[in-house]
Chain A
């Protein structure tokens, strides 16, 4: 069983839809949770960063962490064609274990249709 599970999709939605992306994980010791966006042939770009539990909002993006369920989510409101990309969840134990190594999900490919 992988430490971090993420449905690879692809997920296709119409422009303006609310998108929900999710990851589950098995290691309850994870403390840092991140969402990255990766466009084709580009490096992952940090979108959202959360320490421990709770919600975080940044513009059209909301990240949620539910440590009791070992489940994290990213919501995209009013989705745009420019949001079409692969979304990667990532998490780490701390800043010291292998330098704060990130454990990534496989990524969900999202397509927003005009």
Chain B
């Protein structure tokens, strides 16, 4: 089954404790990205990657890092989480040349206290 898998799905952590949200897709997609979803603000792009070792900032990259060492994986790293990073996070992927049909994972609920 074609899917984008995120882990963890739910996490409560404390300010300053580094964490990583993993994302893996099994569709051999070149493009992957991270979005966050907040009430009243909708979904906003954090980072994106057009292929292995090619990453770039989206609209709200502050406080986040990413890496793309393998085509299937695109982890989101919060080096020093703060309460304003409490949000619902989605990983997404798309095949190059497939228009703009982007597929999303199930989401990761992150609470920073």
Residues of A at the B interface (CB closer than 8 Å) are: 4, 32, 34, 36, 41-46, 49, 51, 88, 90, 92, 95, 98-102, 104-107
Interface residue SS majority, chain B: strand
Which residue of B has the minimal Cβ distance to A45?
B104
* A-B residue pairs, 4 tightest by C-beta: A43-B104, A99-B48, A32-B100, A104-B42
What is the number of residues of chain B that contact chain A, defined by CB distance less than 8 Å?
Answer: 29
A34 contact from B56, B58, B100, B109, Cβ within 8 A: B100
- The answer to the question of B27 belonging to the interface, with a C-beta cut-off of 8 Å to chain A, is no
Which residue of A has the minimal Cβ distance to B42?
A104
Are B99 and A51 neighbours in the complex by a CB distance under 8 Å?
Answer: yes
Which residue of B has the minimal Cβ distance to A46?
B101
Bound together, the chains give a CA A41 to CA B108 distance in angstroms of 9
Are A99 and B106 neighbours in the complex by a CB distance under 8 Å?
Answer: no
What residues on A are CB-neighbors of B11 within 8 Å? none
What residues on A are CB-neighbors of B94 within 8 Å? 100
B58 contact from A44, A90, A101, A107, Cβ within 8 A: A101
Known: A42-B107, A43-B104, A44-B90. A102 touches B99 (CB 8 A): no
Are B42 and A88 neighbours in the complex by a CB distance under 8 Å?
Answer: yes
What residues on A are CB-neighbors of B109 within 8 Å? 41
Which residue of A has the minimal Cβ distance to B40?
A106
Q: Would you list which residues of chain B between 1 and 55 have a CB under 8 Å from chain A?
A: 4, 31, 33, 35, 40-45, 48-50
Bound together, the chains give a CA A44 to CA B31 distance in angstroms of 17
Known: A100-B94, A101-B48. A95 touches B43 (CB 8 A): no
Which residue of A has the minimal Cβ distance to B103?
A46
Known: A44-B90, A88-B42. A100 touches B102 (CB 8 A): yes
Bound together, the chains give a CA A45 to CA B103 distance in angstroms of 7
